[in-house]
Chains A and B, each alone.
Chain A
Amino acid sequence: MTQLVPVLSAHWDEKDSFTIEAYTRHGGYKASQKALTMDPDAVIQLVKDSGLRGRGGAGFPTGMKWGFIPQGDNKDHYLVVNADESEPGTCKDTPLLMANPHVLIEGCIIACHAIRAKHAFIYIRGEVTHVVRRMNQAIEDAYKAGHLGNGVELVLHVGAGAYICGEETALLDSLEGFRGQPRLRPPFPAIAGLYARPTVVNNVESIASVPAIIANGAEWYQSMGTEKSKGTTLYSLSGHVNNPGQFEAPLGITLREILELSGGIRTGHTLKFWTPGGSSTPIFTQDHLDTPLDYEGVSAAGSMLGTKALQIFDETTCVVRAVLRWTEFYKHESCGKCTPCREGTWWLVQILRDLEAGKGTEADLAKLLDLCDNILGRSFCALGDGATSPITSSIQYFRDEYISHITHGGCPFDPVASTLFVGAGA
């Protein structure tokens, strides 16, 4: 049985965990002091050796990303932290920044040293006022303490409600003051990112993992996780479970293990489907309870580890309704730049609404799948691809349920049964 290993979340249960005092009390800002005495290349090597991979979804090796930044080019370099956590189901960075913003700041200081950047930005979603307060206060305190301002400037940039800005090049355009639409690649951000300068864009959790790696060494980090997915990570359990929450565990833990640790599926109900890493990752079913939740394991089972957002739905949930709602999300969040995503999600919603309302036909299912085929891999960025995941995977596993909407002339489910307050007289 895999054990939970709180590293990032180790001190979240202390009331003042978000203060610089609490952070320093637990050895905070020692790792950055250590890193600043190291050669930047040695820091990059250490992060490479640790096996840390991007926690924002794609799993790209963090040290390698840092290594792409051209050295000695006499250009400004930038570090940009992606804190635009918006993927449906994803809720790990927000509690992390609420409870311990300083670990991210320290990670930024180390990363800036490694990539020879003097300026870092944290791009945070705009719909979290209190997290913005905490983060800005922490930055202010870190300046006062001299951790920032002596070689590294850090600015918190607050978004304004656009999922697409989680895509790194859209994020950069947004940060430059443009509409957050993805850019052509190449050039990649490592060559021409923010202000067309070499830029590293990393997820909050990736950068926040760095201080512990510096403090404890690459071997320590390497010792956790699986062969190619090293270290610990935050798994976010939500939905029809008795006890939702954050679970920090070595990569490779299974959903069965997390459910056993946390208290299982909502009492009296059974698991129907779940997402391993947010709504853009193809859904799983009961059959995937033992799939190792690491980059390779989830991929081999036909989905993606993504943000490790484990959204659990029990048998009371209508999959067509769930998928329609996600599709409406993608339609709402499509940036509009490319045809397949902009027009495709618009059309997908119309077909799915008809299907959910029992006005569809079996031919619509074929149309839906063909439309997904015309969007997947045809769009400008991964948003369009993500929009097709719930549709194609749900039809793969629950085709009969779609058909039953057609034969039933509407949704056969009672929406009340799936609410949290069913029977509570709400």
Chain B
Amino acid sequence: MSTAEIVDMITVVIDGFEVSVPKGTLVIRAAEQLGIQIPRFCDHPLLDPVGACRQCLVDIEINGRAFPKPQASCTIPVEPGMIVKTQLTSPVADKAQQGVMELLLINHPLDCPVCDKGGECPLQNQALSSGHSESRFQGVKRTFEKPINISSQVLLDRERCVLCARCTRFSEQIASDPFITLNERGALQQVGIYEKQPFTSYFSGNTVQICPVGALTGASYRFRARPFDLVSTPSACEHCASGCDMRTDVRRGKTLRRLAGEDASVNEEWNCDKGRWAFKYVTATDRLAHPQIRNSDGELVQASWPEALAAAAQGLKASASAVLVGGRTTHEDAYGYSKFARIALNTNDIDFRSRVSSDEEREFLATHIVGSTTTYLDIDRADQVVLVGFEPEEESPIVFLRLNKQFRKRALKVTSIGSKLSIGVEKLKGEFVKVAPGEEATAIAGLPLTAKSVILIGERASESAGVLTAVAALASSTSAKLAWIPRRAGERGALEAGAIGNLLPGGRPVTDASARVDIAALWNTPSLPTSVGRSNDEIYAAVISGELGALLVGGVDPLDGLNSKAALTALEKAFVVSLEIAPSEVTQRANVILPVAAITEKSGSFLNWEGRARKFDAAVDNSLNRSDLRILSMIAQEMGVSLNLGTVTAAAKEIAAIGTWDGARVSMKPIKSEKTSSLKDNEFVLTSWRRLLDLGTLQKGEDNLAGTARQCVAVISSKRAASLGVVDGDQLKISSALGAVTLPALVEDIHDDAVWAPRNSRGSQLLVNLGATHGAVVTVVKI
């Protein structure tokens, strides 16, 4: 234990019982240690104390000196010699609490029978435990127009509000999105927005969750269920690599809502709106229900499982095959794909990176990331955090919240290397090192970091040659910690599982004989393929050139790559076995389709960016859908190979048995960055990222959520805007050789060479529309 962690303990007496708690603990929380529940509304352990609702009043004396009046236990830290009497032992405290409760209820509509919160409402519960059964109020209650939409997904019933300010404090203190505020004054005080600026925070759902009454409700859940009809299952979020603990509430086999779970070391008690509200894709009406086989007429027809499995096995056996597995699989499923490739297909041609990627990245992941142990705690302790190809608020929202917490608490210095200043970095008052797209490596090289610094690398770092080489050099020269934060929930697990061409499970290089011996022994197979496998793009190319004949594809969107045309051509040409939940560009071209379970229908785990396992059980029991792992085992069996991975538990056990690799790592071939050539008047270098809320397939069917997505714009600098005669709102056409997108202009802080547009938003799907992302030269004209 370091000195910083030695804490002074203070002993106090509460209702006659002694308790020792760390110095600084609030009385209300010291009481919790004894199991004494002091009623409260405004208090929230993760928000600054405010003392507004006055529900938690208790009697306090310190060394024999009594406070003349009851004190709010949520604002007073313990002190030596403190004696606290709560409502249980002090008639004064009890009357004070009853009095406050009565006052809270005089203007409350008591509409519990029609309120979403009824049955899980702190006001309802505490009114029963600490209130009078009858009110003395005979007057006229305050009423408001109800409800009002403060965004497309959050509704506000002001007359239910007890003005605890949890929501407004959350928005300001946690999310730094003060779009909701307390307005007016006195008895008319109310939560609200500015009329033209809805509550478009990525974190707005948390306010619904922490509202201690039914004042804030979610549009998607409003009037859908009673809490006591729901079955809750602990779960993990599948939307990104943050690793949020979640709770999934199901009624009669249907997921009705998802809430942030509590995990102090990861998401604390928060999550983002995508994690909370994007789950309808699971119950979408177009879910694949039955296996299908493409018949001799080229039509997909329904098939039995045995037929489909046999067809799949036959197709995969018939020629050289490769595996494409998306970044959304569980750790166990990814392990299944990894093992399947090696022992059923005898190949290292497997890649989970179904997105823009590079060989430099693959080597970087194998040398620096697999097995790495940087965590949220390292952010908490960092003297500086550097962001490379990474926008935390858009691409891993809980990482953003953690950075923001440290920024607000201790002014943590955040440095972002990029071409456009983002809203998130602005909120963190980060140092913005502005470079032309593609020239990040130079900026990275000079950063003065220490061993307490943390470099957070996004998956987009692979899009500029030399960046990861520079990052690796910086880390080695400064001893700064590295972490890689991909967007997708399954990528870190897939990396650890060896679902990539240069690694076997547990970070073992495929080219290392002793590493292969380890794994071959475990898998009970005589040998394993020895050369580094093909990458994503190489696999597609090999299909087109005829070197590969079949593909096993799980959860891949071929349009996510830079060369989607080649991907689609390859999928047309190859014998494709597709494991999917819903029709996709892959299933359209598949020879065999095998429907798989969605996240809520299966158990398993994700490894978040830290490499921390996020285990979950099936939230929906009665699903007939099988996990990828189970189906892979069945195909293997058809091929005469035994995967021995019949269940998730079996896979987890096997993974645990592998352990980490302490042998030599792959070495990284340094890559030089490429300078962009000089630009003509209308030429710009494209830069972009995906917004948190966009056209992602897992957000399908969530119109309320989509309503809070950020505006789609094309961003250029004021200098370039002036030379093009462009002002905010003008229509800009961004063109590549392949196509064009047209978006309203926004003049912002961006490198003069660069134009920014969202990568996958309505009207701006750059990979499909332009076939370009970051670093490509495009032309921009005002239309």
A–B: direct contact at CB < 8 Å: yes
A residues with a Cβ closer than 8 A to B are: 162, 179, 184, 331-340, 342-347, 350-351, 367, 371, 373-375, 377-380
Residues from chain B with Cβ under 8 Å of A378 in the complex:
54, 57, 69-70, 96, 99-100
The 6 closest A-B pairs by CB, nearest first: A374-B99, A336-B189, A377-B69, A350-B139, A343-B103, A334-B186
B residues with a Cβ closer than 8 A to A are: 49-55, 57, 68-70, 75, 95-96, 99-100, 102-104, 106-107, 136-137, 139-140, 142, 162-163, 182, 184-189
Pick from B57, B106, B137, B187 the residue with the most CB of A within 10 Å.
B187
Residues from chain A with Cβ under 8 Å of B142 in the complex:
346
Q: Please name the residue on chain A nearest to B142 by beta carbon.
A: A346
Known: A339-B52, A340-B54. A374 touches B140 (CB 8 A): no
Residues from chain B with Cβ under 8 Å of A347 in the complex:
103, 106, 137, 139
- Which of A342, A351, A373, A375 meets B163, CB within 8 Å? A342
Interchain CB contact under 8 A, A339 and B182 = no
Residues from chain A with Cβ under 8 Å of B75 in the complex:
184
Residues from chain A with Cβ under 8 Å of B163 in the complex:
336-337, 339, 342
Residues from chain B with Cβ under 8 Å of A345 in the complex:
186-187
Interchain CB contact under 8 A, B184 and A336 = yes
Residues from chain B with Cβ under 8 Å of A338 in the complex:
51-54
Interchain CB contact under 8 A, B187 and A339 = no
Residues from chain A with Cβ under 8 Å of B102 in the complex:
374
Interchain CB contact under 8 A, A335 and B100 = no
Q: List 17 A-B contacts (CB under 8 A).
A: A184-B75, A336-B187, A337-B163, A338-B53, A339-B54, A339-B100, A339-B103, A340-B100, A345-B187, A346-B107, A346-B186, A347-B103, A347-B137, A373-B95, A374-B100, A377-B70, A378-B57
A sample of 13 more A-B contacts (CB under 8 A), given A335-B189, A337-B189, A339-B163, is: A184-B50, A184-B75, A336-B182, A342-B186, A343-B103, A343-B106, A343-B107, A346-B187, A371-B99, A377-B68, A377-B70, A378-B99, A380-B51
Residues from chain B with Cβ under 8 Å of A337 in the complex:
52, 163, 189
Residues from chain A with Cβ under 8 Å of B185 in the complex:
162, 179, 334-336
Cα of A332 to Cα of B184 in the assembled complex, Å: 11
Cα of A162 to Cα of B184 in the assembled complex, Å: 11
Main secondary structure of the interface of A (DSSP, over half): helix
Cα of A335 to Cα of B52 in the assembled complex, Å: 11
Q: Please name the residue on chain A nearest to B162 by beta carbon.
A: A339
Residues from chain B with Cβ under 8 Å of A333 in the complex:
186
Interchain CB contact under 8 A, B184 and A343 = no
Interchain CB contact under 8 A, B54 and A380 = yes
Residues from chain B with Cβ under 8 Å of A377 in the complex:
68-70
Looking at the assembled complex, report how far the CB atom of B242 sits from the nearest CB atom of chain A, in whole angstroms. 32
Residues from chain B with Cβ under 8 Å of A371 in the complex:
99
Cα of A379 to Cα of B162 in the assembled complex, Å: 15
Cα of A26 to Cα of B75 in the assembled complex, Å: 50
Q: Please name the residue on chain B nearest to A164 by beta carbon.
A: B185
- Which of A331, A332, A339 meets B104, CB within 8 Å? A339
Looking at the assembled complex, report how far the CB atom of B284 sits from the nearest CB atom of chain A, in whole angstroms. 45
- Which of B52, B95, B107 meets A374, CB within 8 Å? B95
Q: Please name the residue on chain A nearest to B137 by beta carbon.
A: A347
Interchain CB contact under 8 A, B51 and A184 = yes
Residues from chain B with Cβ under 8 Å of A339 in the complex:
52-55, 100, 103-104, 162-163
Known: A335-B186, A350-B139. A373 touches B103 (CB 8 A): no
Q: Please name the residue on chain B nearest to A374 by beta carbon.
A: B99
Looking at the assembled complex, report how far the CB atom of A389 sits from the nearest CB atom of chain B, in whole angstroms. 15
Pick from A332, A377, A378 the residue with the most CB of B within 10 Å.
A378
Looking at the assembled complex, report how far the CB atom of B499 sits from the nearest CB atom of chain A, in whole angstroms. 51
Cα of A47 to Cα of B555 in the assembled complex, Å: 78
Q: Please name the residue on chain A nearest to B105 by beta carbon.
A: A343
Pick from B52, B55, B142, B188 the residue with the most CB of A within 10 Å.
B52
Looking at the assembled complex, report how far the CB atom of B344 sits from the nearest CB atom of chain A, in whole angstroms. 64
- Which of B52, B70, B187 meets A331, CB within 8 Å? B187
Residues from chain B with Cβ under 8 Å of A179 in the complex:
182, 185
Cα of A367 to Cα of B55 in the assembled complex, Å: 20
Q: Please name the residue on chain B nearest to A383 by beta carbon.
A: B186
Residues from chain B with Cβ under 8 Å of A374 in the complex:
95-96, 99-100, 102-103
Looking at the assembled complex, report how far the CB atom of B217 sits from the nearest CB atom of chain A, in whole angstroms. 22
Cα of A367 to Cα of B103 in the assembled complex, Å: 13
Q: Please name the residue on chain B nearest to A350 by beta carbon.
A: B139
Q: Please name the residue on chain B nearest to A347 by beta carbon.
A: B106
Interchain CB contact under 8 A, B189 and A342 = yes
Q: Please name the residue on chain B nearest to A379 by beta carbon.
A: B54
Residues from chain A with Cβ under 8 Å of B69 in the complex:
377-378
Cα of A338 to Cα of B41 in the assembled complex, Å: 11
Cα of A162 to Cα of B185 in the assembled complex, Å: 9
Residues from chain B with Cβ under 8 Å of A379 in the complex:
54
Cα of A345 to Cα of B69 in the assembled complex, Å: 19
Looking at the assembled complex, report how far the CB atom of B188 sits from the nearest CB atom of chain A, in whole angstroms. 7
Cα of A72 to Cα of B4 in the assembled complex, Å: 27
Cα of A93 to Cα of B163 in the assembled complex, Å: 35
- Which of B53, B57, B100, B136 meets A367, CB within 8 Å? B136
Cα of A333 to Cα of B189 in the assembled complex, Å: 11
Interchain CB contact under 8 A, B103 and A332 = no
Q: Please name the residue on chain B nearest to A376 by beta carbon.
A: B69
Interchain CB contact under 8 A, A336 and B139 = no
Pick from A336, A339, A347, A379 the residue with the most CB of B within 10 Å.
A339
Cα of A41 to Cα of B2 in the assembled complex, Å: 42
Interchain CB contact under 8 A, B140 and A350 = yes
Looking at the assembled complex, report how far the CB atom of A332 sits from the nearest CB atom of chain B, in whole angstroms. 7
Residues from chain A with Cβ under 8 Å of B54 in the complex:
338-340, 378-380
Pick from A337, A367, A371, A377 the residue with the most CB of B within 10 Å.
A337
Known: A350-B139, A350-B140, A378-B69. A336 touches B186 (CB 8 A): yes
Q: Please name the residue on chain A nearest to B101 by beta carbon.
A: A339
Q: Please name the residue on chain A nearest to B72 by beta carbon.
A: A380
Looking at the assembled complex, report how far the CB atom of B146 sits from the nearest CB atom of chain A, in whole angstroms. 19
Looking at the assembled complex, report how far the CB atom of B86 sits from the nearest CB atom of chain A, in whole angstroms. 15
Q: Please name the residue on chain B nearest to A366 by beta carbon.
A: B136
Residues from chain B with Cβ under 8 Å of A334 in the complex:
185-187
Q: Please name the residue on chain A nearest to B184 by beta carbon.
A: A336
Q: Please name the residue on chain B nearest to A335 by beta carbon.
A: B185
Interchain CB contact under 8 A, A340 and B52 = no
Q: Please name the residue on chain A nearest to B185 by beta carbon.
A: A336
Cα of A360 to Cα of B95 in the assembled complex, Å: 25
Interchain CB contact under 8 A, A332 and B186 = yes
Looking at the assembled complex, report how far the CB atom of A335 sits from the nearest CB atom of chain B, in whole angstroms. 6
Known: A339-B162, A343-B187, A380-B51. A373 touches B99 (CB 8 A): yes
Residues from chain A with Cβ under 8 Å of B51 in the complex:
184, 338, 380
Residues from chain B with Cβ under 8 Å of A342 in the complex:
163, 186-187, 189
Cα of A224 to Cα of B106 in the assembled complex, Å: 51
Cα of A377 to Cα of B100 in the assembled complex, Å: 12
Residues from chain A with Cβ under 8 Å of B188 in the complex:
336
Q: Please name the residue on chain A nearest to B108 by beta carbon.
A: A343
Looking at the assembled complex, report how far the CB atom of A184 sits from the nearest CB atom of chain B, in whole angstroms. 6
Looking at the assembled complex, report how far the CB atom of B487 sits from the nearest CB atom of chain A, in whole angstroms. 37
Looking at the assembled complex, report how far the CB atom of A317 sits from the nearest CB atom of chain B, in whole angstroms. 26
Q: Please name the residue on chain A nearest to B183 by beta carbon.
A: A179
Residues from chain B with Cβ under 8 Å of A335 in the complex:
185-186, 189
Cα of A344 to Cα of B106 in the assembled complex, Å: 9
Q: Please name the residue on chain B nearest to A161 by beta carbon.
A: B185
Cα of A367 to Cα of B57 in the assembled complex, Å: 21
Q: Please name the residue on chain B nearest to A343 by beta carbon.
A: B103
Pick from B70, B137, B185 the residue with the most CB of A within 10 Å.
B185
Cα of A147 to Cα of B189 in the assembled complex, Å: 43
Residues from chain B with Cβ under 8 Å of A367 in the complex:
136
Residues from chain A with Cβ under 8 Å of B70 in the complex:
377-378
Residues from chain B with Cβ under 8 Å of A351 in the complex:
139
Looking at the assembled complex, report how far the CB atom of A126 sits from the nearest CB atom of chain B, in whole angstroms. 15
Looking at the assembled complex, report how far the CB atom of A163 sits from the nearest CB atom of chain B, in whole angstroms. 10
Cα of A377 to Cα of B55 in the assembled complex, Å: 13
Q: Please name the residue on chain A nearest to B68 by beta carbon.
A: A377
Cα of A214 to Cα of B583 in the assembled complex, Å: 87
Residues from chain A with Cβ under 8 Å of B140 in the complex:
350
